[in-house]
Chains A and B, each alone.
Chain A
Amino acid sequence: MGMKIINSSLFSIGCLWFFLLLSSSVAATAVPGEKAPDFLVADAQGDKHSLADYAGQWLVIEWFNKDCPYVKKHYGSGNMQFLQKKYTEQDVRWLTVISSAEGKQGYLEPTEALSVAKTHNLSASRPFLLDTSGEMGRAFGAKTTPHMFIINPEGEVVYAGAIDDNDSANPSVIANSHNYVSAALDASLKGKVVPRSSSRAYGCSVKY
């Protein structure tokens, strides 16, 4: 009987280790060169999206908050919509995510999100992904709006960081800024190595 208890306790220790290894293999943030974290989030029309849905495709993920001055910089100038249009036309998928919690700045109900998409002339692949719980944002380690991520057809992150190299809130600087996202996408689509895969994401904090 004693041996039985020893055996069963050894067995339970083994189970715990296994459980532990499983739980520690979940990725914490989106790191260039590593697999992107999975997500499951509904868009403003109620359709669910996960990373697996975009296997085999280039995917851009952008964090959005309509009241953030830096988002206004890139939407007011038409810069973001221009990029969305340019690359979705080249079969890149583009998801714009709102991770603002209910009651925080930038939070939108689905119907509001649809009308904001319209007024902002959003040209992403889908109307906003509504990550109200912040689960997707935290999984990616999204710090700011606009924080940008590019994921390759194999599901690996190839770029994480700012949209460009100028953290001014003034839209007039866009013309002379170096856009990291389009540089990475242009190189990627030509089968070349991304010139720069990481930068400090500038902007407003994501309002989890």
Chain B
Amino acid sequence: MIDRRNFLINILGFLLLAGSTHLIAQESISGDHVTVRWLAPSSFVDRASEKIGFYFEVDPGWHVYWRNPGDSGAAPRFTITPNGAEVGAIEWPFPSRLKIEHLTNLGYAGNVAYLFDLTPDRGGKVIALSAELEWLVCKIECIPGFGTMTLTRPVSDETRWSSANLDLRNHFAKRVPQSSVYSPWKPISLAAQGKDRIHLLLESETASKAPKVFPINGDLFSASKPKLQREGKTLDYTFGRQPGAALSESADFVLTDGTRAWRLDRVSFGTAMPEAKSRPLWLLVLAALAGGIILNLMPCVFPVLSIKLLGLVNEGYSERGRWREGLLYGAGVLTTFVALGVLLLVLRSWGAAIGWGFQLQSAPVVMALIALFWLMGLSFSGVFEFGHRLVNLAGVSRGGSFATGVLAVFVAAPCTGPFMGVALGTAAVLPAVEALLIFLGLGMGLAAPFVLLCASPVLLKRLPRPGPWMEKLRQFLAFPLYATVIWLLWVLGRILGESGWLIGALLLLAVTFTLWLGYNFSRIGRIIAWILMLTFLVIGYSTLTPKEKTFSKVAAGWQEYDRSLLDQALEEGRPVFIDYTAAWCITCQVNKKLVLDTPEVQRLFHKNKVLLLRADWTRQDPEITEALAALGRNSVPVYAWYPAGSREPQLLPQILQESIIVDLFNEKRKTK
């Protein structure tokens, strides 16, 4: 059966595809979650090329695909049969990376227009198109759609657009990649590295922001976001390679700065890159070493080590004995670092999303540390003489050095110094053996000062002579330990909620009472003390159930980290500041108090309509761990700044100053 419209067109002498005649020919089609209509003028001009297109209106939360759809899905297909005109190839606006569960898709979250050029034939009076469409629209589930659309328009002396349609056409035409001639970034090289990576190096004289890069060949390149490293004017993108995919001669890419896009056609593959790391391993190990040395000065580590060291001098060890203690301490530090490193790597290989400092995300560990620091504090204050039996960890007796080393690592871990952030972040993505080298570097740094002092009589002689002042120093050093207890109680409160404080404080009461019992009464007292202690511990630990809800209180002006909030703001081109923080991270708290939460900085953020997100990593949170990993980090603090209109974050220094924040906005003014 031939419908009336086609019949009329036939009379005019135009032939249409036989296949489309049994469908109701129309200017728009609707499928599940999608409506497609033409973006076209109401009249064309003879032989004047005009860009028109298919406009896909997609339900919120659903998406359609780019020419390379990524890990799943499919690009839409258009078979256009023109009459009285010539049509060009489909032009694809640049896509975005859509993370759908375990996969990355390349497509459009929202409405999109697929465009093409149409040129009416010479002397024609009317053009007619018939287009067969096939598309896939997905949320998590996917629904395919099919349909035929027709377009019949007169050819006159004017191209007449409705202004709404013209705006839409222009909006998407701007997003269609231009020739590489106009690209601010030029390809320098393209090379495979090993079996599973491909590097694309770009260079730009003018542009400062890094563009997003999308490979067109999905058979060769994995769709996931490439890792980006910047070296001066050079940008190094590392793409994943599809397992076992053969290399081609060349590859095509699309670059975008978020508003415009460019094609990089036929970038030839050069010789494969050596497997070497672009950031040499020795440099990372060196940085780890430096970070480790700095750890010695952290408020929780310093008292423990200095008392231990003075003890060694005081006890009158032989040179050999001191040497041995030094080595024992070093062994303790290294073993613990490696053990924690291995645990971290093994857990990661099992898929757990955790990062460095993970041991402080566990309530029992924090609780144990509270008790330990409390006991050490009491001992330093001289409240109890423990006789170097119960707690000889920080004491002076023989054989305790190994344990001192273990302890030093445990308490030092949260105080990730500025040098360690990069090293630990890299360790998380390096192969196991190299990651362990970095952990060992940190350990050696932490152990070095103590071991050196033990080993060198010359250095040791420089230390002040032992005397009664040592007792005073010891008592003084109890106070940083008490401060640490307060801090850890606060951490426990963040993990467990309000009850954390109470449970922690009761534990301290119990410990102190037990000690008093044990010291002031004979054998029976001690036995009762032990029983009491065990009871307290069992009861205490059984109450350690983390609260369900995440911390309801986020400081004014800040919102809890939420991927969708971030995406939405980036989509709107709104600037975003993310504070990756944790209660157990001291640097984070200092930055918060001195810089981020000051009225001046808050006013500045408010004035510039910055979306402030706080990603609290106090307890394990896979989403935040993943977000950190995407930034190449594995520890806090991390400060990510997305300037207005940019989708690439800049990482700010780990030690913030107000001027750094102020500069963010000055810079913005300059570039505008």
Contacts and interface: CB of A to CB of B under 8 A. Distances in A.
Interface in B113-167: 134, 136, 138, 140-144, 146
B146 A170 contact: yes
A158 B452 CA distance: 56
A197 interface: yes
A69 B325 CA distance: 69
A204 B142 contact: yes
A206 B134 CA distance: 22
A67 interface: yes
Contacts of B345: 20, 23-24
Question: Chain B interface residue count: which class?
Answer: 35 or more
A26 B141 contact: no
Q: Which of A3, A6, A157 has the most CB of B within 10 A?
A: A6
Contacts of B402: 5, 9
B331 interface: yes
Contacts of B620: none
Nearest to B440: A13
A2 B399 contact: yes
Interface in A131-145: 141, 143-144
Interface string B332-375: 10110011001001100100000000000000000000000000
Contacts of A21: 432-433
B244 A205 contact: no
A31 interface: yes
A83 to B, nearest CB: 21
B338 A203 contact: no
Contacts of A110: none
B243 interface: yes
A175 interface: no
A33 B436 CA distance: 29
B179 to A, nearest CB: 27
Contacts of B246: 196-198
A169 B74 contact: yes
A202 interface: yes
A186 B580 CA distance: 54
A200 B218 contact: yes
Interface stretch (B98-106, B550-558, B585-593, B610-618): B98-106
B69 A167 contact: yes
Contact of B243 (A160, A196, A206): A160
Interface string A1-13: 1110110011011
B260 interface: no
Contacts of B328: 2, 5-6
A183 interface: no
Query: By DSSP majority rule, is chain B's interface helix, strand, loop, or mixed?
Result: mixed
A28 to B, nearest CB: 9
A200 B324 CA distance: 60
Contacts of B69: 167, 202
A80 interface: no
B77 interface: yes
Interface string A167-204: 11110000000000000000000000000111111111
A24 B101 CA distance: 25
A184 to B, nearest CB: 12
A11 to B, nearest CB: 10
Interface in B288-339: 324-325, 327-328, 331-332, 334-335, 338-339
A143 B102 contact: yes
A202 B219 CA distance: 10
B242 interface: yes
A32 interface: yes
Given A9-B335, A169-B74, A170-B146, A105 B141 contact: yes
A2 B327 CA distance: 9
Question: Chain A interface residue count: which class?
Answer: 35 or more
A131 to B, nearest CB: 14
B71 interface: yes
Contacts of B73: 202
A113 B134 CA distance: 31
A88 interface: no
A26 B244 contact: no
Interface string A142-155: 01100000000000
A114 to B, nearest CB: 24
Given A23-B346, A205-B71, A141 B243 contact: yes
A29 B101 CA distance: 18
Contacts of A170: 134, 144, 146
A135 B431 CA distance: 23
Q: Which of A30, A204, A208 has the most CB of B within 10 A?
A: A204
Given A31-B243, A160-B243, A168 B72 contact: no
Given A10-B331, A169-B136, A170-B146, A198 B141 contact: no
Contacts of B502: none
Contacts of B473: none
Given A9-B335, A143-B72, A69 B143 contact: yes
Contacts of A105: 140-141
A93 interface: no
B342 A198 contact: no
B72 A203 contact: yes
A168 B219 contact: no
A23 B436 CA distance: 14
Contact of A24 (B72, B245, B327, B349): B349
Contact of A2 (B100, B324, B342): B324
Interface in B239-275: 242-246
Contacts of B141: 67, 105, 204
Interface in A43-99: 67-69
Nearest to A30: B243
Given A1-B399, A24-B432, A198-B244, A208 B342 contact: no
Contacts of A20: 342, 345-346, 432-433, 436
Contacts of A9: 331-332, 334-335, 402
B72 A144 contact: yes
Contact of B334 (A13, A32, A67, A201): A13
Contact of A167 (B74, B100, B244, B332): B74
B318 to A, nearest CB: 12
20 contacts: A1-B399, A2-B325, A2-B399, A5-B399, A9-B331, A9-B334, A13-B334, A16-B342, A20-B342, A68-B142, A69-B143, A105-B140, A143-B102, A160-B244, A169-B136, A198-B244, A199-B242, A200-B219, A205-B72, A205-B102
Given A196-B246, A198-B244, 15 more contacts: A3-B324, A19-B342, A20-B346, A31-B243, A69-B144, A143-B102, A143-B103, A160-B244, A167-B69, A198-B243, A199-B219, A202-B72, A204-B138, A205-B72, A208-B102
Cβ-closest 4 pairs across A and B: A32-B244, A169-B144, A198-B244, A31-B243
Interface of B: 69, 71-75, 77, 100-103, 134, 136, 138, 140-144, 146, 195, 218-219, 242-246, 324-325, 327-328, 331-332, 334-335, 338-339, 342, 345-346, 349, 399, 402, 431-433, 436
